Every structure is written in C-alpha cells, then in structure tokens.
Amino acid sequence: MPTQAEVDALKAKYAAAQQEHVFTFYDSLSPEEQAVLYNQLSKLDVDRVNRIYKKAVSGLESSTTNLSISPLPDDCFDSVLDAAESKQKEWESIGLKSISENKVAVILMAGGQGTRLGSSAPKGCYDIGLPSHKSLFQLQAERILRLQKIAKDSTGTQGEVIIPWYVMTSGPTRAATEGFFQSNGYFGLKQENVIIFEQGTLPAFTNEGKIFLETKSKLAVAPDGNGGIYAALRYENVLTDLASRGILYVHAYCVDNCLVRVADPVFIGYSISKNADCSAKVVRKAYPEEPVGVIALRNGKFNVVEYSEFDPTLAALTKANGQLEYGAANIANHFYTVDFLKSVERFEGELEYHIARKKIKHVDLTTGELQSPIKPNGMKMELFVFDVFPFTERMAVLEVDRKDEFSPLKNAPGTGIDDPDTSKRDIMNQHLRFVEKVGGKVVAGDGETQDSLTLEISPLVSYAGEGLEKLKGKTVRTPAVIDTVSDIEKVIIS
C-alpha cells in the first residue's frame, strides 16, 4: 500500500497536469481499490499523455489539404516485378548471409483480436481453413524454421542459425497468445527465441482533454496503435535484448497477412544494399480509386498518404511506363536497422498521434454512475507504425507481387474480400504456382475442378517455392497435402 505522503505527491503531480479529477472517488474506495488506482496512476506519465493529446488536437486544426504531395524518387524505389533475376539473387544472397550470421530478427505486430472474424482469440490463433488447419502463428513460425535451415545450408554456416521472433501483443491478447504458444510447443522454435511482449496503452480523453475514469478505481485506456511498437521496444526491454544478441536488422510485419515472407532474405538484402535505415514493402495499387494508403513524399518527407488526401486527377497520374505515379500501396511490412529503432526516442515527441472518435464508457464524476454513451463522446489516441517515415534519413521502397506476398485477413467468413476463404485460396493458388514453376503439373481429383484445387505445401518443405525440384515433369492429383519432404514422393501419380 502507498503511504499518505506518496498519495499526496501523486495527487499534486496530477493537479499540476490539470487531471486531478482522477482522484474524485479515491477516498471512498477500499484499500485494495485504492492500491489498484494508485498503481495505474503512478505508472502513467501524465505530462507525456497531455502532450500527446495537445499535439493531436493541434494537428487536427492544421489542414492537410494544402500540403505538397510528390512521387517517390526513382533512386529509392525498386520492384521485384521488374528487377532482373540476377539482381534479386544478389539481394537474396546478402540477406541470407546476414541471417546466417544471426544479425536478423523479426518483430510481429499481433495485438489484434479476431473480433470481426467471430473470434475473441488473438488473430494469430485463427485457422483460415487449410487442410492442415494451421493457424497464422504456426504458418509464420514454420517459415522461420525453414528459413533458418536455408540460411545455414546456403552459406555453409557451422553454428546454429537463429532468427529471434518478438511477438507484440496487447493487454487483451497477451495471456492468450502466451498460452497458445506454450500449448503448441512454440511450433518447433526454441522458447528462448520467441519473446512475447506487450504494446502500451493510452488513456481515453474527453473532448476537452480530460482523462476518463472507466470505473471509480480505473482509468479508461486503449492500446496505442501499431505505432506503439517503438515505445514498447524500449519499455519492454526488447531493444536491450536485440543488442545483447548482436542483432543489426529487423523485419516487422502484421499478423493478418497469411502470405507474409517472414524475414524475407530478398527484402533484407535489398534494404542492406540500399544502406537504408528504414524500408517498406509495397504492392502495386490495383486502380486509381483503390482505397489504400500509398507511400509518397509529403512536403519532401517520406510518408503514407491516405487515399482521401488525393484528388482524383492526382490519383490517376501515370508514369511513362503506364504505372500509377502514386501506386506504392502500403502493406505494413517494414525493415529497420536497430540503430534507427534506437533513434526513435530522440524524435518521439515530434510524432503526431491520430484521433479516433469513440463511444467511451465512463463513470460520471458527479453521480458515480456508469455511463454507456450511444454516440461518440470522446477520443482515443493512436500512432501508426509508418508515422516514423518522415524521420528516416535513408528510406527504400521495394514493390513485390501482391498475389505472392499480400493477402490480409480482415473480414468475417463469407464476406468474399479479405476473409478466411480468400486467405486460404491465395495460399493454395501460390502452392499451385510453386509446383508449376519447377515444371510439375497439378490435376483435379475426385470432387474438385481445375479452377479450385486443394493443394497445401508446408512452409517446412518450401519457404518460397524452393525444395520442390522432385516434382519436375511429375503430376500431382488433388486434394494433396505436402507436410514433409517425404510426402513429395507420395503425392506424385505419374
């Protein structure tokens, strides 16, 4: 229990910040409730959250309509759709060398729940309906296992190759995520190389900038957005762990992309070859009106420009090659040097949080009664992972093939767009292309049609199409599942 002097000091701190109302009910609480509230308030940097609120509100007042938007410079943009095979092999070789030297780690942004999917579990636990019923977490873990082997074998490394996996959860998902990994034996990875940590939270504010009380003994808080990753890396000692392991480069991505190439050596090598401190993977925007953010320059600085910020004429501009001038669609898939991640603390005060107007349940400070508003009554603050882009000194952007690298899981089953069925279809179509690329043929078995084939290849067998050479000149009949290397022989019918 805090002493009276400690309570008085904390009250004075909040009074100086003009947030003393959070102590309204303190004296009427039980000792246990007082301890809970004191603990929450003492951990909160109230001056920092006040600054965040004021900067976010002032940002709303400064219109973005007159800001100058310009295309990405040619020297910081490349595309795997256009680059020579030899150049991509060169990037891959650089990436595999760094991985084999244990200089590469992965950070997974996995704080979301599968609410829109009809599940309260962390989204990474979701089974998209593959024949193997592997979750998103398992697919990604197995890609790490396979890539560790590829890096070791391709470079002749004698020691163990380790790609540490840092999994960022949120308050609502941390315990369930830890339990899921434990009950599944960390999917074959060593437990000490899977580090689960938690993103921060920020209080919810009234429209006047006062912190809401959710109950008499608890502040109303919400996760601080995927951009909370930068502060969380510091507060949760991830940066310290990265340094102790000798990690120089980090790949960060969101959990809901079933096609993600975790620690992609091509992307890692590309970014290293460009001497980038921060890089982004993008996909080609499908059409001018596609409602996606694109990476471009805003007032001469790298940024993600939202679709709503473009007028139709600007959005439809094309290059000499016919591609959209503003066609680098952001997919939250990034490379960083560890030095850059450390540097974020220096400019963190300049980052502008985004306001989300929300219906916030709270306690009436006069009556003490719980209020459940029917329309937005306050705001939550979010930072986006790309909000650091304007502060990069050496940014690089790599365009990749959407059908091979981006299939987000956003919507409920049966939606038809970015749902479990499209995720499953996109993985199996990719595996069909893997077989065809090595010279194999896939034919429909009983109950299947040639345009809807059930074929699943475990990431433990193939990370990106390699390892399937035995299928050259062979025919596979669906449904077929290649879960181990020995399964390759079993699925061949001729």
pLDDT tens figures, 38-84: 999 999 999 999 999 999 998 776 645 547 999 999 999 999 999 99
**pLDDT band (50, 70, 90) for residue 337:** very high
Instruction: Give the Cα separation of 57 and 52 in Å (integer).
Output: 9
- Reduce the secondary structure of 445-457 to three states and give it as a string: CCCCECCECCEEE
| Residues 379 and 275 grouped into a single domain | yes
Residue 426 in any domain: the answer is: no
Confidence grade of residue 344 (pLDDT, cut at 50, 70, 90)? very high
Same domain, 268 and 298: yes
Q: What is the crossing angle of helices 238-245 and 338-347, to 10°?
A: 150
Q: How many domains does the chain have?
A: 3
279 and 267 Cβ atoms separated by less than 8 Å: yes
Which of 248-257, 311-320, 334-343, 476-485 is predicted least confidently? Answer: 311-320
Kindly tell me if the per-residue pLDDT of 100 is higher than 60: yes
Q: What is the pLDDT of residues 1-35, one digit of tens each?
A: 899 999 999 999 999 999 999 999 999 999 999 99
77: number of CA atoms within 13 Å, CB side?
Answer: 20
Whether 113 shows a pLDDT value over 90: the answer reads no
- Burial code (b: 16+ CB inside 10 Å, e: under 16) for 422-438 equals bbbebbbbbbbebbeeb
Q: What is the pLDDT of residue 62?
A: 60
Q: How many helices (H) and strands (E) does the chain have?
A: 14, 24
Q: Is the pLDDT of residue 311 over 80?
A: yes
| Within-domain flag for 216 | yes
220 in the same domain as 105: yes
For residue 452, name the pLDDT band (cuts at 50, 70, 90).
confident
Say what the pLDDT of residue 459 is. Answer: 99
Residues 9 and 145 in one domain: no
- Per mean pLDDT, which range of 48-62, 124-138, 175-189, 195-209 is the poorest? 48-62
Do 330 and 397 fall within a single domain? yes
Pair (227, 297) in one structural domain: yes
Give the separation between CA 443 and CA 455, rounded to whole angstroms.
10
Are 173 and 122 spatial neighbours (Cβ–Cβ below 8 Å)? yes
Closest CA to 454 of 474, 428, 422, 493: 428
Q: In this predicted structure, what is the pLDDT of residue 65?
A: 52
Compute the distance between CA of residue 119 and CA of residue 481 in angstroms, rounded to an integer. 27
Tabulate helix, strand, coil % of the chain (nearest 5): 40, 20, 40
pLDDT for 114 equals: 83
Mind listing the pLDDT tens digit for each residue in 474-488?
Answer: 999 999 999 999 999
pLDDT of residue 61: 61
**pTM score, two decimals?**
0.93
Q: What 3-state DSSP class applies to 173? A: coil
Q: Residues near 425 by Cβ (< 8 Å), separated by ≥ 6?
A: none
The pLDDT confidence band at residue 216, using thresholds 50, 70 and 90, is very high
pLDDT of residue 451: 81
Structure tokens at 164: 């540490």
**Residue 361 · residue 329 · CB < 8 Å:** no
176 shares its domain with 314:
yes
**Residue 174's pLDDT band (boundaries 50, 70, 90)?**
very high
Contact indicator for 143, 261 with CB cutoff of 8 Å: yes
Q: Does residue 410 lie in a domain region?
A: no
Contact 105, 166 (CB under 8 A): yes
Q: Among 26, 41, 61, give the residue marking a domain's end.
A: 61
Residue type, 266: V
Of the three residues 34, 61, 88, the one that is the final residue of a domain is: 61
Same domain, yes or no, for 191 and 81?
yes
Range of the domain at 15: 4-61
Is 2 exposed, middle or buried (CB count within 10 Å of its CB: 0-12, 13-18, 19+)? Answer: middle
Buried b (16+ CB within 10 A) or exposed e, 190-229: eeebbbbbbbbbbbbbeeebbbbbbbbbebbbbbbbbbbb
Does any domain span residue 80? yes
Query: Looking at the structure, do residues 87 and 50 belong to the same domain, yes or no?
Result: no
Does residue 21 form part of some domain? yes
Is the per-residue pLDDT at 289 higher than 80?
yes
Give the CATH number of the domain where residue 463 resides. 2.10.10.100
Q: What is the mean pLDDT of the chain?
A: 95
Question: Do 34 and 10 meet the contact criterion of CB atoms below 8 Å apart?
Answer: no
Residue 446's pLDDT band, with cuts at 50, 70 and 90, is confident
- The answer to whether residue 173 sits within a structural domain is yes
**174 and 277 share one domain:** yes
Residues 30 and 32: their CA atoms lie apart, in Å, by 5
Task: Judge whether 416 lies within some domain.
Answer: no
Beta strands, E only, 258-327: 278-284, 294-298, 301-305
User: Does residue 138 sit in the same domain as residue 280?
Assistant: yes
CATH code, domain with 317: 3.90.550.10
The answer, yes or no, to whether residue 214 has pLDDT greater than 70, is: yes
- Cβ contact 457:425 at 8 Å: no
